[in-house]
Amino acid sequence: MCGVSGFWGFPPGGGEPGAIAAAMAERLHHRGPDDAGVWMDMESGVAIAHRRLAIVDLSAAGHQPMVSASGRWVLAYNGEIYNHLELRRILAVEGAAPAWRGHSDTETLLAAVEAWGVNEALKRSVGMFGLVLWDRRERVLWLARDRIGEKPMYYGWQGGIFLFGSEIKALRAHPAFDASVDRGALALLLRHNYVPGPYSIYSNIYKLPPGTWLRVEAGDQEASPVSYWSLAEVAERGESDPFTGSESEAIEELDRRLSSALRGQMMADVPLGALLSGGIDSSLVTALMQARSSRPVRTFTIGFEEKAYDEAAQARAVAMHLGTEHTEMRLSADEAIGTIPRLSEIYDEPFADSSQLPVHLVMRLARQHVKVALSGDAGDEFFGGYNRYVLGPAIWRKIGRLPDALRGAISKGLTSLPAATINRVAGPMAQLLGVALLGDKAYKLGLRLRDLRSVNDLYVALVTEWPDAVRIAKANMVPPNLLEERERWPRLDNPAARMMALDAMTYLPDDILVKVDRASMSVSLETRAPFMDRDTMEFACRLPISMKLRDGRGKWILRQLLYRYVPRTLVDRPKMGFSIPLDEWLRGPLREWAEELLAESRLHREGYLDPVPIRAAWEQHVRGEGSFGYRLWSVLMFQAWLESSRGLSK
C-alpha cells in the first residue's frame, strides 16, 4: 500500500520540479512511511512521486517509481495485485518474463503491461490499485483504478498543468492548485453525505471512476476515462445468465471462491489480522482466515459505552469460538470529540459518514499490532445486507397501489407533524404498509411520498438526506450523476437487485471505501476485502435473489456458509451497522462544538449555505422535536472542513 502523486507540465514561477514532486509525496507520508522516490522526465515535464508502505518484497527491489526491464514504462502504484504470482507463471509460459529483480507485484505489473499492453494487463490483474504509468516512447501518461474503487486516484488540469495523486492533499502541495469550491459537489454532499464520483469538492478536480483508465497526451484536457470492467454489465450478465445449481452447490461455490480470494489476500511479508465486528461479513472473513492459519489470527473491534450501539460482546464471543487473539477498545464521547479535529485532515474533502469516527479508531488500534487487516466490506452490497433491499420493494408494493391524492395526504400529514411524534405515527403507518418503519425512515418517506411514482423514486428517496440540497448549497444545479441519470442504471428486472448494483456503483466506492481507505492509511495500515475479489463479485451477481434475501432478511447464503464455522446463536441477530449515537451526542457532548459551527452569523458570513433550513433542523434536533443528526452531520463536516482548509498551505 502506498501513495502516488505527480504532475505533467512545468510549474509556474520557475519552481524546481523535483522539490515540488517531493513536497507532493511528503503530504502522503502516512500512506507510505517506509520509502520514498521521485522520477522525472525533464524533457517532457513529467514528475512521478511515490511513498511506500512495504508489504510484499520489503527489499530495495520493490522501490518505486519503478522502470520496466526495457526502460519504456515507468510505474508508481498504490495497492496490491493478489494474483501476481499466477501472472508471473503465465508470462514465463509465453516467454515474456524478464529477468526478475525481486518478487514484488509492482515488477509483475510492469512486465504484464510490457507484454500485453495497459488494457489487457488491467483485465488480467486481480487486486486493488490506483496507478500512474508513463510511456517514455509514446510520451503518454496513463492513470488507472481497480474494478470497484478500493484505492483512490484524483486528477485534474490546473493552470495548464495536469495534476494527479492518491489524495487531494498531494495535489494541494502543487503551486498551480486552485482551491475553489464546487457548489454542485457541495449540493451532492448534502444530499448523500459524501461527494459522489467523478466529482470532488474542488472545481476541476475529479475522482477517476472505478474500473477505468485515463490516457492523457500532451495538452489533452478533453481526455475521458475508458472502462475496462463494468459492474453494471456484470450485473446484467448475471441476471441473464444466473447460477442454476442447487442451494448446496451455490454454498460450495461461494466457499471455494472466497477461500481462493483469501489465499491471495493473506499474501504478506508483514503481520496480518482482521477487523471483527461480530456481524455476518466480518465473522465469515475471520472464520475463513482462521481456517487457513496455523496460528491464532489477530482480531480487533471497537465497542461503545452506549449499549444500543455496542457489538463488542458479540465480536468477543465469535473470536472466542474461532480461537483468535482478540483485542478491543471502547469508544466514549470524549474520545470521539478528540478525534473530530483530525477528520478534515484525514479526508481532504468534507465526508459525512459518522461511522468514520469508530472506523478510524479501530484502524489505529489494529495498526499497533499488525500492518495488514482484512475486513468484511462489500458483503452488504453484493449479498443483500441493507434493510432497504427488503423494505423498499415491500413498501412500494403497498404505496404503489394508493391513489396519488391519498399518497399526498399521507405525506402532508407526516411532514406537518412535529418530528418527535413520527415514531408514534409510524406504528399505524407500518401496519398500513406491512413493514417495520420507524423514526427517520418514516420521516424521509413522508417527505417524498407525494413525489414517488416508482420503486426507483423510492430508492432515491431512501438514499437522500437533504432533498432541497441545491437551494441550501446556493447552487444553480447539481452536476450530472448516476442517481439522476437513470438511463445509465443497470437494466435489471428485480428492484432489490437493482438497488444492490446501484449501491455497489455509488455508495460503496464513494462512501464505504473512502472511509476505510483514508482511515486505515492515516495510520499506515493496509486493508483488504475478500468480498471485492473479482471472481467473488461476478459470482454474487449471478446468484438468484432468493439466495440473498429470504424470510425478510438479507445475506441468506452468507449465513449458511458462516454456520459451518460459527454457531448461528452467536451471529443471528438484527443488523446494527457500525454507527455511533450521533443524535444523542449532538444534544450532549458535541452540542457546543456543533453550535459554534452552525451559528447563523457564521453561515451568513461564509456564504456557502442557507442558514434558515439548517438552523430550523438544528433547533428542532436540540429540543428533541426531531432526529436530524445524519443530515446535520453533512453540514457540520463541511463547516469543519472549511475551517481547517483555510489553514492549509498550497
Q: Which residues are catalytic?
A: 2
Residue pair 397/358 in contact (Cβ under 8 Å)? The answer is no
Tell me if residue 500 falls in helix, strand or coil: helix
User: Residue ranges of the alpha helices (H) in 490-628?
Assistant: 495-505, 507, 513-521, 534-542, 556-562, 568-571, 582-587, 591-597, 600-606, 611-622
φ/ψ region of 149 (left if φ > 0, alpha if ψ in -120 to 50, else beta) reads left
- Between CA 209 and CA 144 the distance in angstroms is 9
Closest CA to 478 of 227, 70, 184: 184
> In Å, how far are 6, 202, 382, 547 from 146, measured between CA atoms?
19, 23, 17, 27
Residue pair 185/195 in contact (Cβ under 8 Å)? The answer is yes
> In Å, how far are 154, 297, 298, 373, 435 from 320, measured between CA atoms?
42, 11, 12, 19, 36
Closest CA to 496 of 464, 556, 443, 456: 456
For residue 306 the three cell numbers come to 452506549
Listed in sequence order, the residues at least 6 apart from 506 whose beta carbon sits closer than 8 Å to its beta carbon are 192, 196, 463, 482, 483
- Between CA 194 and CA 510 the distance in angstroms is 7
Residue pair 148/137 in contact (Cβ under 8 Å)? The answer is no
Residue pair 43/84 in contact (Cβ under 8 Å)? The answer is no
Closest CA to 628 of 391, 447, 481, 458: 447
Listed in sequence order, the residues at least 6 apart from 398 whose beta carbon sits closer than 8 Å to its beta carbon are 432, 433, 434, 435
Max distance between CA atoms of the chain, in angstroms, equals 74
Q: What number of CA atoms fall less than 13 Å from residue 132's CA on the CB side?
A: 30
Q: How is 48-105 classified by DSSP, letter by letter?
A: EEEEE---S--SGGG-SSEE-TTS-EEEEEEEEETTHHHHHHHHHHTT-----SS--H
Closest CA to 254 of 518, 479, 535: 535
Burial 152-180 (b: 16+ CB within 10 A, else e): bbbbbbbeebbbbbbbbbbbbbbebbebe
For residue 190 the three cell numbers come to 448534502
Burial 61-85 (b: 16+ CB within 10 A, else e): ebbbbbebeeeebbbbbbbbbbbbe
Q: Which amino acid is residue 238, in one-letter code? A: G
Placement of cell 454474487 in the chain: 540
Tell me if residue 328 falls in helix, strand or coil: strand
- Between CA 114 and CA 523 the distance in angstroms is 34
Strand partners, 4: 50
Q: Which amino acid is residue 140, in one-letter code? A: V
**How do strand 212-216 and strand 206-207 relate by DSSP bridges?**
unpaired
